[in-house]
Chain A
Amino acid sequence: MTLAELLTPGRLLAGAVTASAISLWLLLPRGRESGTARWLGTLLGIAALAGLACAGRRLGSLGEEGVFLTVSLVAVVSGAATVLTRSPVYSAIWFAMCLLGVAGVLLVLGAQFLGVATIVVYAGAILVMFLFVLMLAQPAGLAPYDRVSNEPFLSAVTAAVLLGLLTLSIGRLSAEPVSAAPVSAAPIAAVSADPLAENHVARLGAELFGRHLVSVEAAGVLLLVALVGAIAVVSRGETAGREGSR
């Protein structure tokens, strides 16, 4: 019996799900740190990733495959590290790494603007905010609550099964278009499959500020409200704190 016969897609997927669940459970903080668990978890995690990679599809060229595999591995591994690292500061750093990977995936998928915007907005702004808050609030060393997890086994199983289900559904997708007619009556421009298509940003801008102008305005208002709200919450909290200290 060859390996190919042994590894039917179903078994492969089931194995990957099981491996990812156990790996997550082993690697999540559970109070007592153990080197064995760490190594075993890492190995199982690699195996799970390999299995999931098998569920993926062959791309056109070796270079494209290589690029995609690289950036997605960066994204997935550093995402896992974000979740699994004990120290929140390291989590944030790993998350920045993950953002880089995600930006790469977006680029490969043909969304140049989004790839750049993710780095700029997330890594440049949001993540820095996280780090500031961490500096404000994080106690020195590892807090007890950073060393334990909430229901690690059940959560790991839930996440792994969810992943398995999603992968299964993606595998069963067909190429048939979902709806025959395009949603937009007058499409401004069809997105190009080429990641480096010309005028990509220009066409995206036209789409954004043409068809979705109202949404953009709404988003702007939302940002403003969030800004005001955050300030309001902070100032009230300070007032309450001062009153409480008296």
Chain B
Amino acid sequence: MPVSTPTLQALVPALPLAAAIVTLLVGRRLGHRAHLPAVAGIAGAAVAAVMLLFSTHAAVVGHGDPHAADAAFETAKQFDSPSTLWQWATIDEAIVPSPAATPPGTPLSAPATDGSAAAIPFSIPIELRLDPLTSTMLALVTCVGLLVAIYSIGYMHDDPGYARFFALVALFVFSMTMLVSATNFLVVYVFWEAVGACSYLLIGFWFRKPEAARAAKKAFLVNRIGDFGLAIAVFLIWMTYGTLNFHDATLADGSLQPGVLGVTRLEEPGRIIGGAVGTAICLCLLLAACGKSAQAPLHVWLPDAMEGPTPASSLIHAATMVTAGIYLVTRCAPLFEACPGALVAVSIVGAVTALVAGLIATVQNDLKRVLAYSTISQLGYMFVSLGTGTLLGFTAAIFHLVTHAFFKALLFMGAGSVMHSMGGVIDMRRFGGLRRIMPITAATFLVGSLALAGVPPFAGFFSKDEILASVHAKAFPGGHDGHHEPSTVAAAFHPVSFSGRAVSFSGKASADETVAPAAAAWLDGLDRPRVWRVIWWMAIVTAGLTAFYSFRAVFMTFTGPERVPEEAMGHAHGHEAHGHGGSGPHESPPVMTIPLCILAAASAVSGWWLFSTHALSDFLAATPSLAAPAVAATAVPHAFHMDIAIQGTLAAAIGIAVAAVGHLGRRSDGPQMERFLGPLEWLFANRFFIDQVYSALVVKPLEGLAFVAAAFDRFVIDGTVDAVGRLPVAAGSIVRGLQSGLVQRYALAGASGVLLIVLALFWRLRG
């Protein structure tokens, strides 16, 4: 290898960062070539990421049989050695109140085990880690980012903020690659925020448009709730484990400090905290993931985020940023594994989100909003999969993440292509039969929809099938696999609950110490097949809904009588300058359709390839977090479950059929299926009134509070300040009369003053 691995690791984030800085500095001068630095930087990052992926894969495969958990574990050790760039901060003697991470009897590390405060150095290294999960995410983010950047060359070509857009995209790729490369919770937090900030800037890209500015604000604020959860989780992890590193670090005195997700800690199952504190940590992490991955009830920002440019929607809100939550949960899999209640919570959240978002998507008429709700729904699917807590579930989630990134980016770009051609109109009722006007877009969009609907042999089918299989295994423990009982395995690794000591840092302890474990225990109690069966049926219904709304969109947009909105007829969109000539609806330029074709190919074949070779799941199993004994023990042999596949495909087929009955060949503005839904349609169209509930519960009270605060500020604080300001004037007005301008009065005052001084001197001399 010509370039060392640490160099490649550093290059992946460094190139987009450099591109962003260069574009920001000289972007205006580059004019229509402003995309060059960003595209080049992201392309370089993509090359580096793919090289890293291959090198990691070679290392994993080359180190024995990854099917065996022990072997995978041995392999993973190789990749838990991050390369340090520099130290951010170091505090030599940070006090850890409760080294509860070290239960008695496991003398593994320096911290005292007697419960007293122990001095542990606190350091925040800026380190880049490399393991299968990270390398997968890096490759995904950079490759999709590259395609989106190329696509944007065509889509954004006459936008006044052309340079700014590419700078932001490059900055976003930088943040995202750092987020998945970081090996410290605090650094993760930093780039978690950075990703949110980039999202804010891209949603509000057309900041002169009030809706866009409002949507950006909403996305940022809703994300703050999740960020708050992450912050609390980081604090709790620090208090509990005494370190924020993922990996094992070597201290200055040569001793080993086990990282939160380090090999040393993962080797011994009991060293991951469960119970109330563990559940609290996991729920806070779940809250963070919900914010970033748009899970209920924090999903409200993502549909509004469609106000941003379509490539940004495609990049951030479909393919990459929203997967940060999935990544975080997967990364912290051992923590969740210790808290079955938190895992069930993950699944429940995911299932509810998937179903609700799917239902809402069925009545949306805005093409991009359909896709947005579809994204939320698919992310919910991934959460369902994560919540199973099995190796199959985690790998299936990542598998679905990868395939979803392909086809959702494809669908968004296709929608963008339609929008581009239709003069900015995105309402599906206003056009139809576009397959003759834009055949490439129509074909690729159809491929994406097939993949999304889960039709074999497209990518979505296989990843969804794995998710369904993982849920099925939980829902029907005595099912077709027979030999496997996940809950008992999980129970074997249930750690001792440290309810007493671990929460001792909360000041008023007694009530919390009884309530919190009770709540955790109640959550743990939800880990029952009956609950999982509900989740299973929700997932199946969602599969049908997914097929319905995706094909409803296809039929409304691309089939039926050919209709084009009048905006498309007149819009010039600057194409004359590019030699396209003519006006009216047209197929998009090659710079936009080529990425579509690439993604369509990936959507078509990646699922089959990755599934049949088990390449991804075996590869991911070597990740330290997933190679932990608690997770690895849940591994099952790869199998294709025909019954599950039939159920999933059946659901998809029913959905497509219903969509065909309702929409195929009809005018898209004609009578709709939705009216048969009656009041439900009203409920769906209003998105279950979640925004209204937020408005009533959060926004209105806050506005009232803000009104009171503003009044207080205006009348009390400003009044005080004004009074202070008026004081000198008032004091001055008392003596202003002395400044009469009459020189003789001045002279009199001077003489009298001298006289007074002399008198005072006399007085002193006498005394």
Contacts and interface: CB of A to CB of B under 8 A. Distances in A.
Direct A–B touching, Cβ under 8 Å:
yes
A202 to B, nearest CB: 40
B86 interface: no
Contacts of B758: 165
A205 to B, nearest CB: 37
Contacts of B762: 165, 168
B759 A151 contact: no
Interface string A158-169: 100110010010
A158 B745 contact: no
Contact of B748 (A154, A165, A168): A154
Nearest to A155: B748
Interface in B724-767: 742, 744-745, 748, 751-752, 755, 758-759, 762
B755 A162 contact: yes
B742 A150 contact: yes
Contacts of B759: 161, 165
Contacts of A168: 762
B569 to A, nearest CB: 78
Interface residue SS majority, chain B:
helix
A161 B754 CA distance: 11
Interface residues of B, number: 10
B519 to A, nearest CB: 85
A168 B762 CA distance: 10
B752 A150 contact: no
A150 B745 contact: yes
Chain A: number of interface residues, binned into ranges: under 10
A155 B752 CA distance: 8
Nearest to A169: B762
A158 B751 contact: yes
B745 A165 contact: no
B755 A158 contact: yes
Nearest to B758: A165
Contacts of A161: 755, 759
A161 B762 CA distance: 12
A151 B755 contact: no
B750 to A, nearest CB: 10
A165 B765 CA distance: 13
Contacts of B752: 154, 158
Contacts of A154: 748, 752
Given A165-B758, A165-B759, A165-B762, A151 B745 contact: yes
Nearest to A172: B765
Nearest to A151: B748
Nearest to A166: B758
B744 A151 contact: yes
A151 B748 CA distance: 8
Contacts of A155: 748
B755 A150 contact: no
Interface in A135-170: 150-151, 154-155, 158, 161-162, 165, 168
Contact of A165 (B742, B744, B755): B755
A150 B751 contact: no
Contacts of B742: 150
A188 to B, nearest CB: 36
B195 to A, nearest CB: 77
A168 B759 CA distance: 11
Interface string B485-518: 0000000000000000000000000000000000
| 4 nearest A-B pairs in the assembled complex, by CB-CB distance | A150-B744, A158-B752, A158-B751, A151-B748
Given A150-B742, A151-B744, A158-B751, 5 more contacts: A155-B748, A158-B755, A165-B759, A165-B762, A168-B762
23 contacts: A150-B742, A150-B744, A150-B745, A150-B748, A151-B744, A151-B745, A151-B748, A154-B748, A154-B752, A155-B748, A158-B748, A158-B751, A158-B752, A158-B755, A161-B755, A161-B759, A162-B751, A162-B755, A165-B755, A165-B758, A165-B759, A165-B762, A168-B762
Interface of A: 150-151, 154-155, 158, 161-162, 165, 168
